[in-house]
Amino acid sequence: MISIVTKWWYVPGREQEAVAALTDLVQQVRDGEPDTLMYCLHTADVTGSLPPPTPNEVIFLGAWTDRQAFEAHRKGKIFTDWLEKYLHLFVQNDGKLYVSAEFADRFAGFVRGAAVG
């Protein structure tokens, strides 16, 4: 299994549109990508965070069966079509989504059933 933590930033003032678009993406990935094991999105909670994140930050926690499944997601029709439609809602660099990403190789842990949904 390969996991990733990424951060994106929505354009200030576009939070509601960005969250709605991302919620749609989650549904499409859940329904269409069985090798995506976890795909959780969060808006930043500035309170108590060190260092404090920017208020327009979106945090992804994702997991795939392997690196090949992640690449299939990243290059696949669901994500690329979604990105083409909604990229304008997010901070970009040279016309591409500005993102920070960190891959992780899980050695222990779990996701409780109540956390799924």
DSSP letter at 52? P
Q: Amino acid letter at 10? A: Y
Indicate the pTM of the whole model: 0.87
CA proximity to 64, closest of 21, 10, 6, 113: 6
Domain 2-105 sits in CATH at 3.30.70.100
Q: Which residues contact 1 (CB under 8 A, 6 or more apart)?
A: 37, 63, 64, 65, 66, 106
List the chain domain ranges.
2-105
117 residues of the chain, pLDDT tens digit each? 899 999 999 999 999 999 999 999 999 999 999 999 999 999 888 888 888 888 899 999 999 999 999 999 999 999 999 999 999 999 999 999 999 999 998 888 877 775 555
In angstroms, the CA 3 to CA 39 distance is 10
